Amino acid sequence: MRWLGFNRAYLRSLTRYGPSCPQQGAHYQPQSEDCLFLNVWAPMADKGRKRPVMVYIHGGAYSSGSVVDPLNDGAHLADRGDVVVVTVNHRLNAFGYLYLARRDPRFPDSGNCGQLDLICALQWVRDNIAGFGGDPDNVTVFGQSGGGAKIATLMAMPAADGLFHKAITMSGQQVTASGAINATKRTEAYLEKLGRGVDPVTASATELVAALGAIDPILGGGVYMGPVLDQRHLHRHPFWPDPAPQGNKIPMLLGNTVAETRAFFPPDHPKLQGLDWDNLAERAGSEMRADLLPEWVAAQFRDRYPTETPLQLFHRIVTAGRSWRGQVEEADARARAGVAATWVYQLDFEQAKHTDDIGLSFGTFVSPTPARAAMSRVLMDAFVRFARTGHPGWPAYTTPSRTTMVFDADSRVVNDPRQWERELFARVPFIQAGS
């Protein structure tokens, strides 16, 4: 195997990963503004043979994360699939998505710098990957959570056109981007937290990260930063009111986990302390990101699943309303538009939560068991088959059938496996975080 790092248009051999983008928390060290690195895993080059290329974009929304996480090690996937695997670090949060254009004309690109980093990396792949035995004409981008959202956004960015040929999004969607007005409001809130008179251009990385504690004026909670509809690099929403035409020629595989929100609400989360039938509606309703009467939603779920506990129903309600609907919006939009084929999967294995598909798709899953090893092989083989041929091995997603591969110990194809939940939440528009 070969492993190389990429930094600002030159190659150098490395014995360790390059820095991650500065961010809240100390999970990934070192951190530096000089974070534009990519990593390549490739079987030994074989003259005259070109392998499919799989480029991974990490999650963490647009604010955190890094491919230095051991789960993102590409060696096993490259070996098993006989493919070239590339992983990418890029600018995040204020470094990649602080929208200053309406305040200062010197920074017209500021709201989408993180996306432009990814485009730069894909241009590097196009120009250099053949040297590692990769086929620049067969590039699949895949990403989990925020990585999937970044891919959906790239499918609407003209500068990314032609740089990848297939897309896999894992628990990550971007139906709409942030509008310029809301993005400016978020910038104002962020700069207020940074401090009056402090220039974000000259502020230290420590100061810029500390200001991420600003309260989002649109959604509440931490200030959101993500792609901006700036009419410069992003001219329309990725999947509203229909799929961006640029992405219509790209085969797409979308997936989610059956119990996404178990990752966001672990057992010690305050929302789950003292959870009972009396407070289920209020606590789930405030998290489901759907403007439906919470008491009515809770009653509907309780009638539908009469043997389940308040905890089980909390996760069902919030997963359906908050984490899963974006995938339905994207898949249905592509099906209605009659674009390049779309495939959908759902990971049910061990009641999978958000992020569980990362280790399984890389073969780096934690706490190995024979069952997890077997599930990992199935998921990796499906991803590689899609990267190699453009078809993962089950029928494409169309409406009204909504054919879905359910990955489990006994994997199977199911039509519209969450029809009841889909129809319940279809009563109201989907609320995209960050719009």
> Strand 38-42 relative to strand 51-57: parallel, antiparallel, unpaired?
unpaired
What total of structural domains would you count in the chain? 2
Name the residue range of residue 285's domain. 270-322
> What pLDDT does 434 receive?
61
> What pLDDT does 7 receive?
36
345 assigned to some structural domain: no
> What pLDDT does 11 receive?
45
Token duo for residue 203: 């502020």
> What pLDDT does 10 receive?
36
Token duo for residue 162: 């032609």
Q: Which of 250, 281, 297 is the last residue of a domain?
A: 250
Burial class (CB in 10 A: 0-12, 13-18, 19+), 352: buried
Spatial separation of the C-alpha atoms in residues 10 and 149, rounded to whole Å? 28
Token duo for residue 185: 């409001």
Q: Give, for all 435 residues of the chain, the pLDDT tens digit.
A: 333 444 333 344 556 789 999 999 878 889 999 999 999 999 886 767 899 999 999 999 999 999 999 999 999 999 999 999 999 999 999 999 999 999 988 899 999 999 999 999 999 999 999 999 999 999 999 999 999 999 999 999 999 999 999 999 999 989 999 999 999 999 999 999 999 888 888 899 999 999 999 999 988 889 999 999 999 999 999 999 999 999 999 999 999 999 999 999 999 999 999 999 999 999 999 898 888 999 999 999 999 999 999 999 999 999 998 878 888 889 999 999 988 899 999 999 999 999 999 999 999 998 999 999 999 999 999 999 999 999 999 999 999 999 999 999 999 999 999 999 999 998 888 766 666
Q: Name the residue with tokens 């958000």.
A: 354
Catalytic residue (one of 20, 178, 260, 330)? 260
Burial class (CB in 10 A: 0-12, 13-18, 19+), 291: exposed
The pair phi, psi for residue 245, each rounded to 5°, is: -55, -30
Q: Do 214 and 280 belong to one domain?
A: no
Q: Where are the alpha helices (DSSP H) in 56-132?
A: 75-81, 93-97, 113-128
Q: Do 300 and 189 belong to one domain?
A: no
Q: Do 132 and 172 belong to one domain?
A: yes
Catalytic residue (one of 20, 63, 110, 145)? 145
Is residue 286 part of the annotated active site? The answer reads no
Q: Do 161 and 236 belong to one domain?
A: yes
Q: Do 274 and 218 belong to one domain?
A: no
Is residue 145 part of the annotated active site? The answer reads yes
Q: Do 153 and 245 belong to one domain?
A: yes
Q: Do 239 and 299 belong to one domain?
A: no
Q: Do 201 and 289 belong to one domain?
A: no
Catalytic residue (one of 58, 354, 361, 376)? 354
112 assigned to some structural domain: yes
Q: Do 163 and 276 belong to one domain?
A: no
Q: Do 139 and 284 belong to one domain?
A: no
Q: Do 78 and 119 belong to one domain?
A: yes
338 assigned to some structural domain: no
Spatial separation of the C-alpha atoms in residues 300 and 297, rounded to whole Å? 5
Cα distance between the two ends of the chain: 42
Is residue 192 part of the annotated active site? The answer reads no
Full DSSP string of 323-380: ISHHHHHHHHHHHHHT-S-EEEEEE-GGG--TTHHHHHHHT--SS--HHHHHHHHHHH
Q: Do 276 and 243 belong to one domain?
A: no
